[in-house]
Chain A
Amino acid sequence: MASTEIARQAGEGARAVPLSGHVGFDSMPDQLVNKSVNHGFCFNILCVGETGLGKSTLMDTLFNTKFEGEPTQHNQPGVQLKSNTYELQESNVRLKLTVVNTVGFGDQINKEDSYKSIVEFIDAQFEAYLQEELKIKRTLHSYHDTRIHACLYFIAPTGHSLKSLDLVTMKKLDSKVNIIPIIAKSDAISKSELTKFKIKITSELVSNGVQIYQFPTDDETVAEINSTMNGHLPFAVVGSTEEVKIGNKMVKARQYPWGTVQVENENHCDFVKLREMLIRVNMEDLREQTHTRHYELYRRCKLEEMGFKDTDPDSKPFSLQETYEAKRNEFMSELQKKEEEMRQMFVQRVKEKEAELKEAEKELHEKFDRLKKLHQDEKKKLEDKKKALDDELNMFKQKKTAAELLQNQAQQAGGSTTLKRDKERKN
Chain B
Amino acid sequence: KEMGVFPLLTDFSYSHLLSPIPPAGGPVVDFSYVGIDAILEQMRRKAMKQGFELNIMVVGQSGLGKSTLMNTLFKSKVSRKSVLAAAQEKIPKTIEIKSISHDIEEKGVRMKLTVIDTPGFGDQINNENCWQPIMKFINDQYEAYLQEEININRKKRIPDSRVHCCIYFIPPTGHCLRPLDVEFMRRLSKVVNIVPVIAKADTLTLEERDFFKKKIREELRANGIDVYPQKEFDEDAEDRMINEKIREMIPFAVVGSDQEYQVNGRRLLGRKTKWGTIEVENIAHCEFAYLRDLLIRTHMQNIKDITSSIHYEMYRVRRLNENNTVVAHVLVNTLATRYAHTVTPVCMCDALQFSSPSTTY
Contacts and interface: CB of A to CB of B under 8 A. Distances in A.
A250 B75 contact: no
- 5 nearest interchain CB pairs? A14-B101, A284-B42, A31-B301, A280-B35, A4-B133
A82 B15 CA distance: 39
12 contacts: A5-B94, A5-B97, A25-B52, A26-B108, A28-B111, A30-B9, A31-B300, A31-B301, A63-B34, A88-B36, A136-B317, A276-B24
Given A307-B354, A307-B356, 11 more contacts: A2-B95, A5-B96, A17-B77, A21-B75, A25-B52, A29-B47, A32-B44, A311-B334, A319-B320, A322-B324, A327-B352
B36 A279 contact: yes
Interface in A80-104: 88, 90-93, 95
B203 interface: no
A245 interface: no
Contact of A4 (B111, B137, B352, B356): B137
A152 interface: no
Contacts of A1: 129, 132
B321 A136 contact: yes
B334 A9 contact: no
A404 B96 CA distance: 151
B47 A326 contact: no
B160 to A, nearest CB: 13
A14 B102 contact: yes
B260 to A, nearest CB: 9
Interface of B: 9, 14, 16-17, 19, 21, 24-25, 28, 31-40, 42-49, 52, 54, 73-78, 83, 94-109, 111-112, 114, 120, 124, 129-130, 132-133, 136-137, 146-147, 150-154, 156, 235, 269, 292-293, 296-302, 305, 309, 313, 316-317, 319-321, 324, 326-327, 330-331, 333-335, 338-339, 349, 352-354, 356-358, 361
Interface string A271-307: 0100110011111110010001000100110011111
A68 interface: no
A376 B75 CA distance: 124
A327 B179 CA distance: 49
A35 B17 CA distance: 11
A8 B24 contact: no
A300 B298 CA distance: 38
B100 to A, nearest CB: 5
Interface residues of A, number: 97
A320 B151 CA distance: 9
A22 B301 CA distance: 18
Interface string A18-48: 1111111111111111111110010000000
Nearest to A6: B97
B37 A93 contact: yes
B35 A275 contact: yes
A17 B327 contact: no
A10 B94 contact: no
